[in-house]
């Protein structure tokens, strides 16, 4: 496949013939498409994967975005979904049936984990959770009925990596599908398909959209796999993105390659400074040279995003609350990937946090580094 330059993908691909020389595509806010005659109508119904018939299947605005996402991930094809979770569960379901087994990463996204452990179990699909950082451990978890190895590298609270080359070749050698959640690194910094991974999923609600104004998801892979996911899951479950959501993601994605280096730089600088702060026990950011998996991170990623976590030395919940409440420029919120900085304490989302009571997740947004740094340091000073 001929690789396209990032600007060619983001600014031009799929938009060669826009009407009236428009530099943004029209929003095809239409539910149905009509046909000139019986035969055309019939052809579209028999091959909905490749035709515009009904917006619960394909839509031209959505398809422009899908072409860009596929090219960014070095995939043949991509499908946009209503949410990241919809893309994830559909790409899992498409390849398993009752009696099959899934191996997945212990610290993967919470709803992915719930789907595999609880939802799939209702339909007789078994699972094993693995740490993931050791390919031998992962291999030992495989069974004759294993159909999927589900990866997330890095994970987004604990920042653990899996060796994509090793795991992908393990999957290939045994005919097991490998799927990875690539939301953290984005295609700007990591292209799992180049290492042999079969399918890449994203929450487009994070960096792809990039403005905290839209929810969406994507799966990218081979023509054959995407056709299967489209026909078996997408059409049946109706997790269809609204054309306007696709239009917003298209607008957001044009600046992806400009935003990511700023998130990366801000996260590097903040995590370095936090590491030197006496109140901090440790920082988890894969691109720090001191990180456990730094050499693996360098091997498979060209950079990092704005999300990292750190642990305060204190275990006193009142001090932790004071720290969180003192922040001015880090908003207290879930999700991440927008222009704005966020804080998400582990103890907010986990009922029994135990040792992790002082684990704090930070999203470094696009603000000036000194503003963010001063805010974090003064919140630490005022709390501890
Ligand atoms: C947010 C997120 C998801 C879920 O995506 P939604 O768009 O919220 O459905 C999946 N994986 C990761 C790593 C995420 O951060």
Tell me: the pLDDT tens digits for 131-142? 999 999 999 999
How high is the pLDDT of residue 314? Answer: 96
How high is the pLDDT of residue 351? Answer: 87
Average pLDDT over residues 176-193: 98
Residues whose CB is less than 8 angstroms from the CB of residue 226 and which lie 6 or more positions away in sequence, other chains included:
75, 76, 77, 78, 79, 219, 220
- Strand partners for 101: 126, 146
Torsions phi, psi for 41 (to 5 deg): -60, -45
**In the chain, where the domains are located:** 6-253, 256-383
Pocket test for ligand 1, best of 104, 156, 206 (most atoms within 8 A of CB): 206
Contact 81, 217 (CB under 8 A): yes
How high is the pLDDT of residue 1? Answer: 53
Contact 307, 267 (CB under 8 A): yes
Compute the distance from residue 156 Cα to the ligand 1 centre, in Å.
10
Compute the distance from residue 44 Cα to the ligand 1 centre, in Å.
33
How high is the pLDDT of residue 162? Answer: 98
pLDDT > 70 in the chain, percent:
99
Cβ of 209 closer than 6 Å to ligand 1, yes or no, is no
Pocket test for ligand 1, best of 203, 214, 308 (most atoms within 8 A of CB): 203
Q: Residue 123 corresponds to which tokens in the numbers above?
A: 């339909």
Residue nearest atom 6 in ligand 1 by C-alpha distance: 84
Compute the distance from residue 56 Cα to the ligand 1 centre, in Å.
22
Cα Rg, the chain, nearest whole Å: 21
What's the rounded Cα separation, in Å, for the pair 107 and 100? 22
Contact 152, 161 (CB under 8 A): no
Residue 272 neighbours by CB distance under 10 Å: 15
Residue nearest atom 5 in ligand 1 by C-alpha distance: 84
What's the rounded Cα separation, in Å, for the pair 213 and 182? 20
How high is the pLDDT of residue 2? Answer: 64
Compute the distance from residue 87 Cα to the ligand 1 centre, in Å.
9
How high is the pLDDT of residue 110? Answer: 95
What's the rounded Cα separation, in Å, for the pair 189 and 307? 14
Fold category of 6-253 in CATH: 3.40.640
Tell me: the pLDDT tens digits for 19-69? 999 999 999 999 999 999 999 999 999 999 999 999 999 999 999 999 999
Tell me: the pLDDT tens digits for 55-112? 999 999 999 999 999 999 999 999 999 999 999 999 999 999 999 999 999 999 999 9
What's the rounded Cα separation, in Å, for the pair 314 and 355? 10
Tell me: the pLDDT tens digits for 344-381? 999 998 889 999 999 999 999 999 999 999 999 999 99
Q: 256-383: which CATH architecture?
A: Alpha-Beta Complex (3.90)
Q: Residue 299 corresponds to which tokens in the numbers above?
A: 């091997």
pLDDT > 90 in the chain, percent:
97
384 band by pLDDT with thresholds 50, 70 and 90? confident
Residue nearest atom 11 in ligand 1 by C-alpha distance: 109
3-state SS, one letter per residue, for the chain: CCCCCHHHHHHHCCCCCCHHHCCCCCCCCCCECCCCCHHHHHHHHHCHHHCCCECCCCCHHHHHHHHHHHHHCCCCEEEEECCHHHHHHHHHHCCCCCCCEEEEECCCCHHHHHHHHHHHHHHCCEEEEECCCCHHHHHHHCCCCEEEEEEECCCCCCCCCCCHHHHHHHHHHHCCEEEEECCCCHHHHCCHHHHCCCEEEEECCCCCCCCCCCCCEEEEECHHHHHHHHHHHHHHHCCCCCHHHHHHHHHHHCCHHHHHHHHHHHHHHHHHHHHHCCCEEEEECCCCCCCCCHHHHHHHCCCCCCEEEEEECCCCHHHHHHHHHHCCCCEECCCCCCCCCEEEEHHHHCCCCHHHHHEEEEECCCCCHHHHHHHHHHHHHHHC
Cβ of 305 closer than 6 Å to ligand 1, yes or no, is no
Cβ of 87 closer than 6 Å to ligand 1, yes or no, is no
Tell me: the pLDDT tens digits for 302-325? 999 999 999 999 999 999 999 999
Tell me: the pLDDT tens digits for 232-272? 999 999 999 999 999 999 999 999 999 999 999 999 999 99
Tell me: the pLDDT tens digits for 276-300? 999 999 999 999 999 999 999 999 9
Compute the distance from residue 142 Cα to the ligand 1 centre, in Å.
26
């Amino acid at each position: 496949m001929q690789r396209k330059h990032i600007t060619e993908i983001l600014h031009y691909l799929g938009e060669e013939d826009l009407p009236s020389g428009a530099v943004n595509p029209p929003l095809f806010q239409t539910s149905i498409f009509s046909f000139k005659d019986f035969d055309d109508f019939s052809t579209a119904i028999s091959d909905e994967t490749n035709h515009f018939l009904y917006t619960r299947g394909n839509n031209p605005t959505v398809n422009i975005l899908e072409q860009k996402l596929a090219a960014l991930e070095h995939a043949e094809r991509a499908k946009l979904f209503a949410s990241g979770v919809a893309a994830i569960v559909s790409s899992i379901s498409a390849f398993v049936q009752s009696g099959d087994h899934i191996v997945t990463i212990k610290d993967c996204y919470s709803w992915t984990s719930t789907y595999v452990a609880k939802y799939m179990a209702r339909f007789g699909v078994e699972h094993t959770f693995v740490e993931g950082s050791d390919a031998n451990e992962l291999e030992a978890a495989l069974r004759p009925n294993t159909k999927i190895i589900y990866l997330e590298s890095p994970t987004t609270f604990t920042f653990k990596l899996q060796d994509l080359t090793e795991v992908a070749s393990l999957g290939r050698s045994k005919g097991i599908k490998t799927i990875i959640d690539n939301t953290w690194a984005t295609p700007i910094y990591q292209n799992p398909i180049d290492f042999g991974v079969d399918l890449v999923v994203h929450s487009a609600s994070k960096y792809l959209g990039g403005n905290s104004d839209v929810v969406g998801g994507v799966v990218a892979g081979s023509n054959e796999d995407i056709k299967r996911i489209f026909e078996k899951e997408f059409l049946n479950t109706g997790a269809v993105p609204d054309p306007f959501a696709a239009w917003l993601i298209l607008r957001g994605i044009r600046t992806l390659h400009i935003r990511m280096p700023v998130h990366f730089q801000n996260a590097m600088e903040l995590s370095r400074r936090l590491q030197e702060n006496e109140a901090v026990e440790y920082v988890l950011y894969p691109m720090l040279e001191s990180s456990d998996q730094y050499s693996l991170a360098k091997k498979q990623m060209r950079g990092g995003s704005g999300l990292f976590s750190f642990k305060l030395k204190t275990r006193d919940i009142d001090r932790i609350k004071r720290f969180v409440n003192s922040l001015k420029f880090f908003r207290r919120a879930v999700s991440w990937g927008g222009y704005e900085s966020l804080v998400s304490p582990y103890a907010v989302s986990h009922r029994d946090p135990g040792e992790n009571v002082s684990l704090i997740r930070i999203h470094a947004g696009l603000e000036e580094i000194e503003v963010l740094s001063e805010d974090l340091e003064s919140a630490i000073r005022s709390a501890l």
